[in-house]
Structure 1
Amino acid sequence: MKVDFSNFFPQLCFTGFVLSTFAYYRYIITKADSLNFTDLLWKVFITGLITTLISLAIRFFFVIFANSTLVESPLTVNFFYSILIGLVVIFMVSTLVVWKRLILYQKSKNLLQFWGFFEVALAASLLFDFFGASYVDSNFRVALVILGCFSIILVFNLKWVAYLNFKQKWKGILFILLSAIYLYHFLLNLLNFSSTEVLVIDLFDRVFIWGLFVFLFLYAVISILVTLFNLPTSSVFEQKLKEALDFQKLSQSIPRGETKDQTYEILLESSMSAVFADAAWLEVKDESGTVQVIRNLKEEDVNEIKTAIKGDTIKSILQLDLKSEVSSGKLTDDLKHSKFKSIIALPIMVQNKQVGFIVLLNEVSEAFNREMVNIITTFVNQASISLENLSLIKESIENERYKEQLKIAKNVQKSLLPTSLINNDHLTMAAFSMAADEVGGDYYDILEYKKNHFGLIIGDVSGKGTSAAFQMAQMKGIFHSLASQGITPTEFNNKANTALGQCLEKTSFITATYFDINTDENILHFSRAGHCPSLFYCKNDDSVDYLKCDGMGLGIVRNSSYKEYVHSNTVNYHAGDTLLLYTDGITEAKNFDGEQFGDERLKKSFTAHASKAPDQVKEGIKKDLSEFIGEVIIDDDYTLVVVQFKDKKNG
């Protein structure tokens, strides 16, 4: 057929088809970010398979009608050749996009720039083809040489090959080899059509096609060779990858909530896999006893191997008696055993103390090298860190539990102290108590056991902390039980000593002072059981004195002879008189120089504030004490109780 189209139009259509095909495949393959290397090569294989089958069908058509004038018609030849052009462009351009993805794996700035130049050169070759140069022209050959140089530089970017395992490498070789066969098949087909000399457009006169063919074929050949050369190293790479995964598994065993036994299992399996051990066992001694994990061994084998070991270092490791670090060479040895000939033994250290060991065995002599020892050492060190972290986590949990228990004890202790104090027509009170720890052992209380008669107590349990707080609780029960009976202070201390002697720890005692306050008669009757003497302010004389009375702490003597140490005293009071009860935590409080607040400073402070209201007396003494000790943290509980008397009888 004669048409009025110029030679420019077929080339324009060809260029447009190439660019649209390139854009399509770049979009499809770039969009699929999750594709791995074998998936990319699979796409090349499938595209090549489909296009090759169609081209074979075209060739089969010409074979069937070889003697017919139909296949000799220029229209028929150009029609099927145009289809072949489309198939060749689709396969070659799709393969180009895949090759690009592989080449630019782990790309650098220079590599990106060079690939950009290559794509520009390919685009320029499309423009060059508009001039209708033939492959015999010198310009055609120069352009092809330029594209060939670009191809040679780019085809050696094969970093992706190293990341294939053994199976993937064989698949890659197969797919790339088939791709090269497809290219060769298309070349033969194009040559066959080119020999007819009736083609409107001949691909062999296109620099773009030749340049692309050279690049794709070179990259296929180099990829096959490099992958073949990398096959022997595949097992090493896979082993290193597995070691990395095992190491990660060990490092994450504690954050994932693994137990100690699970960590031991992971360590043993990882170590055996890393050095190709035939058998192994692990022993660790902890608070629960000895943990033993055995693989491919019997109990009697373990005992035989322990006996067969000659190296002193390995013997020390198995006896948990390693005192210092040793070189890797001393951690391996040969065995004279019926089955196993090589041994590695490594200590498991936690907080610089050997708590166990791991032993790996092989049936071949000299089976373990230094690299293997280094790998196992890394595993064991990581396992040791994991075990140490587990121990720290447990300690942290125990500390949290202890803090919660202390909070409960603190709330219990607060509930033991009176929530409200007496403030009536006969007397008014103020009190303050602070524990050195979360909870303390100071106790004070007041009880109106009958109208206008009060029992008042202050006590100090020996020691501090939760045990002192619970003994204080016992004291509270005894106080309420005995004070409600209205007994005398002497009887109170005797009975309290008998009761406490049966429940206090042998090393514990309680000091206390018990007051029986008769507001009808304005009388204080008291007995002191080894406690700090109380201070009494007499308003009429404007004087402060200690209320003295001998006595021994409760629980020190736990028999009937305690009565000999109990005494009592009586004081008459008047309106405005003030009584100060306190514990030794106040007088023994120290400043930065280690100097105690002392009895005299307390007396002086009380004298300065005694005439004020009870709350003001309390705050004044606290302020004086705070100024004295400064920022020093108190190391004992301290308590203040201020009682100021009124005289309702005399108005």
Structure 2
Amino acid sequence: MAQQSQIDDFLLLQRVAQRISSILDLDALLEQIVDDVAQTFGYTRSAILLLAPGGREVVIAAVRGWTSHYHVKGERFPASAGMIGHVVQTGKTCYAPDVSRNPYYMVSEASTRSEVDIPITARGQLIGVFNAQHPNLDAFPPPRLQLLEALAGHLGVAIANARLFERERKEKERMLQELAEARAIQSRLFPKQPPQVPRFRISGLSQPCLAVGGDWYDYIQLPGGRVAVVVGDVAGKGTGAALLMASTRSILRLHAEHGGSPSAVLTAVNRVLLADLPTAKFITMIYAVLDPERGTLTFANAGHLPPILVDASGSRPLIAKPELPLGVRAGTYSDQELTLMPASRLFLYSDGVIEARNAALEEYGELRLLQHLATPLASVESLLQDVLAHAQGEPVRDDITIVAVEALV
């Protein structure tokens, strides 16, 4: 009989340990443990009570076996009352082999003759009490008390792990919700549709490597039927870069409304950013103005990758005098003008295009870019798909933005 009791004890602890490692739902875990204890040892009543925030009350987290003075899950009691209150105050097990002789005992079931209340601790702090009651006198011999105290130790670990998991889950949900909201806000900052320009077609896309990013493109209607086309790239990724992107977009639009040349607009934006940008942050940008009546496109480049012109002679980058990114130091920018002949195309893009890598760490690179854009049907969509095909399923490590200006035949 004693040997069978020891086996039962061992198997109970084994089951509890298995549940602790496999169940992170605190409610489900405690309910299963209370059930198992009651069924294994025949305790008529058992419960797990957790200390409420502030420590002035205990709350029933799982309960079995009450028939009178019925208690339910969620019910609260003063943390100073009864044997449970004594455990809360002392942090030590309170065992009453005969409840009628225990000064702390408070009647909950008339049939109870013996009761034990064991502290549940985590990281040295009392977080709850395990309660078991029996209709027989002295129903908890020393070996059983040791087992239940070991069980309470396991419970402390389980409760601490489950609470940590729950906090992390809620924090993750909060962060995902905030990222989703940020993504929705940022997506509204991108053009909803391209502008309708006589004799030209404009298209663009942007794909952040994270939920939000620092790349962006924009179209701005200007006086005289002209259209400004912008591609920018804030140093960095994620939410911080997205915030700087939104701020820079607003500053740029404010100065673009004055209708100045691309170089004048970038010079004015740079002046504002120098006073506002955090240390070590900068922004590369191409600001171009398309004049459909003249068939020209004039642009200024603030440290961005050069545009690529595709015409009858092939595809080639438009290399100009190097200019510093915005927010680095005071200075001016220069304009470059070109005439877009019918069937010619101009592509603006961010460094996420050429820096996309495959599993062999081979970058997409400028050569592949020029080769792809030289094909007659190349577009912003086809370029993005070619870049992703090169990556072969590897995650893109930087935002990808592409804009095309095409002179129609």
TM-score under structure 2 length normalisation: 0.68
Give the CA RMSD over aligned residues.
3.7
Q: Match for 2:251 among 478, 486, 497?
A: 478
Q: In the alignment, residue 295 of structure 2 is paired with which amino acid?
A: N
What percentage of residue pairs aligned between the two structures are identical?
A: 22
Aligned residues: 320
Kept after mapping to 1: 8 A contact 2:356/2:396: yes
Partner of residue 392, structure 1: 165
5+ residue gaps, structure 2: 1-37, 62-77, 93-103, 105-117, 130-140
Q: Match for 2:212 among 439, 447, 455?
A: 439
The alignment status of 1:498 with 2:244, answered yes or no, reads: no
Alpha-carbon distance in 2 for matches of 1:276, 1:521: 90
5+ residue gaps, structure 1: 1-236, 283-295, 297-344, 361-367
- SS where residue 490 of structure 1 aligns? helix
Partner of residue 553, structure 1: 325
- SS where residue 451 of structure 1 aligns? helix
Partner of residue 449, structure 1: 222
Computing the radius of gyration over CA atoms, which structure comes out larger, 1 or 2?
Answer: 1
Alpha-carbon distance in 2 for matches of 1:277, 1:242: 20
Distance 1:622 1:244, change over 3 A: same
Per-residue CA deviation, residues 327-361 of structure 1 (Å, 9 max, x unaligned), is xxxxxxxxxxxxxxxxxx98944xxxx3636899x
The alignment status of 1:578 with 2:331, answered yes or no, reads: no
Partner of residue 97, structure 2: none
Q: State the shift of 1:553 in Å.
A: 1.5
- SS where residue 416 of structure 1 aligns? coil
The alignment status of 1:597 with 2:359, answered yes or no, reads: no
TM-score under structure 1 length normalisation: 0.44
Higher fraction of helix: 1
The alignment status of 1:511 with 2:284, answered yes or no, reads: yes
Q: In the alignment, residue 563 of structure 1 is paired with which amino acid?
A: G
Alpha-carbon distance in 2 for matches of 1:619, 1:457: 18
The alignment status of 1:619 with 2:381, answered yes or no, reads: yes
Q: In the alignment, residue 506 of structure 1 is paired with which amino acid?
A: T
Higher fraction of strand: 2
Alpha-carbon distance in 2 for matches of 1:590, 1:357: 52
The alignment status of 1:468 with 2:241, answered yes or no, reads: yes
Q: Match for 1:639 among 397, 401, 408?
A: 401
Alpha-carbon distance in 2 for matches of 1:592, 1:473: 33
Q: State the shift of 1:273 in Å.
A: 4.1
Q: State the shift of 1:263 in Å.
A: 8.7
Kept after mapping to 1: 8 A contact 2:120/2:156: no
Alpha-carbon distance in 1 for matches of 2:195, 2:344: 16
Distance 1:551 1:416, change over 3 A: same
Partner of residue 17, structure 2: none
Q: Match for 2:183 among 406, 410, 414?
A: 410
Q: Which of 1 and 2 has higher RCO (CA within 8 Å, sep 6+)? A: 2
The alignment status of 1:563 with 2:331, answered yes or no, reads: yes
Superposed counterparts of 1:61-100, under 5 Å: none
Per-residue CA deviation, residues 396-416 of structure 1 (Å, 9 max, x unaligned), is 122212222212111111110
Q: State the shift of 1:586 in Å.
A: 0.9
Q: State the shift of 1:274 in Å.
A: 8.1
Stretch deviating more after TM superposition (397-406 or 261-270) = 261-270
Distance 1:241 1:491, change over 3 A: farther
Q: State the shift of 1:434 in Å.
A: 0.8
Q: State the shift of 1:578 in Å.
A: 0.6
Partner of residue 316, structure 2: 544
Per-residue CA deviation, residues 566-609 of structure 1 (Å, 9 max, x unaligned), is 33322232222110011111111011111110111111111123
Q: State the shift of 1:445 in Å.
A: 0.8
- SS where residue 608 of structure 1 aligns? coil
Per-residue CA deviation, residues 104-128 of structure 1 (Å, 9 max, x unaligned), is xxxxxxxxxxxxxxxxxxxxxxxxx
Kept after mapping to 2: 8 A contact 1:527/1:549: no
Distance 1:358 1:576, change over 3 A: closer
Superposed counterparts of 1:4-83, under 5 Å: none
Distance 1:355 1:643, change over 3 A: farther
Alpha-carbon distance in 1 for matches of 2:348, 2:88: 78
Q: In the alignment, residue 165 of structure 2 is paired with which amino acid?
A: L
Alpha-carbon distance in 2 for matches of 1:546, 1:259: 66
- SS where residue 447 of structure 1 aligns? strand
Alpha-carbon distance in 1 for matches of 2:253, 2:144: 76
Q: In the alignment, residue 400 of structure 1 is paired with which amino acid?
A: E
Q: In the alignment, residue 630 of structure 1 is paired with which amino acid?
A: Q
Q: Match for 2:391 among 612, 615, 629?
A: 629
Partner of residue 219, structure 1: none
Q: Match for 2:46 among 245, 252, 257?
A: 245
Partner of residue 180, structure 1: none
Alpha-carbon distance in 2 for matches of 1:278, 1:411: 49
Kept after mapping to 1: 8 A contact 2:308/2:315: no
Alpha-carbon distance in 2 for matches of 1:638, 1:586: 6
Alpha-carbon distance in 1 for matches of 2:289, 2:297: 6
Kept after mapping to 1: 8 A contact 2:226/2:289: yes
Partner of residue 23, structure 2: none
Q: State the shift of 1:563 in Å.
A: 0.6
The alignment status of 1:280 with 2:85, answered yes or no, reads: no
